[in-house]
Amino acid sequence: MERLQKVLAHAGVASRRHCEELIAQGKVQVNGQVVREKGIKVDPLKDKIVVNGQQVKLEQHVYLLLYKPTGVITSVTDPRGRRVVIDLLKGIKERVYPVGRLDYDTSGLLLLTNDGELANRLAHPSYEIDKVYRAWVKGIPSQDEVRKLATGIRLEDGMTSPGQSKLLKTESSSQRALVELTIHEGRNRQVRRMCEAIGHPVLTLERIRLGFLTLDGLKPGEFRKLTQEEVESLKQGLVQKKRSPRSKR
């Protein structure tokens, strides 16, 4: 059971605040009865909900984990006709949307869902969800440069928040290194810009983990549905992070 305004917002009727106004104005019916109490709870899979005389089509929430390959746009459509992540979801009938984004030339873990509230929380930096990337970079960064990636880099849009960084491997012959970086933000091309700032541009980039979710068992282009236990763990983890005091940085 979920609050009526939350169900309406998830169905795309309007923002949650506007949905509350529609309820207060008597424009919403549940099972043939006008309701004016915004706190009323409904079963989105069983109850018949009508707004302004039109029945609301409710979809069951779907949660997908995709191993995004490079050369695919993180979008539902592309005006230039390029391949988008939705094209990879064969057999999925529900309308789902990417949670955050991965660049065209970045591969790795991407969540897609029609649960708007969960998507917004996962994407918001205040919840500090770990996003772990592995990048092959040009040249061999020093330990001091690797530490700078963790403590914070000044970019044109401000300092990055502290995270974690590791130098996993170096290849002297090809003059490249493998760096692992954990961040909580989601700025545009952030990891690439951070590595560029320390003088070691990214050659290839992949997101290998989001929270406790990994790419285990998947190949590029493949996806799977999250288990109910994984969905509940995600939601519970977000609640706990929001309730706990944020560290001073």
By annotation, the residues acting in catalysis are: 103
* Contact in structure between 9 and 116 (CB atoms under 8 Å): yes
- CB neighbours of 27 closer than 8 A, spacing ≥ 6? 51, 52
β-strands 202-210, 176-183 pairing: unpaired
d(CA 174, CA 15): 52
* Contact in structure between 187 and 199 (CB atoms under 8 Å): no
Which three-class secondary structure state does DSSP give residue 178?
Answer: strand
d(CA 182, CA 162): 9
* Contact in structure between 194 and 149 (CB atoms under 8 Å): yes
Where do we find the tokens 């974690």? 164
| Both structure tokens of 187 | 């700025």
- The vertex-13 CA angle with 10 and 19, nearest 5°, equals 90
User: What sign has the CA pseudo-torsion 169, 73, 132, 141?
Assistant: positive
Where do we find the tokens 């288990």? 227
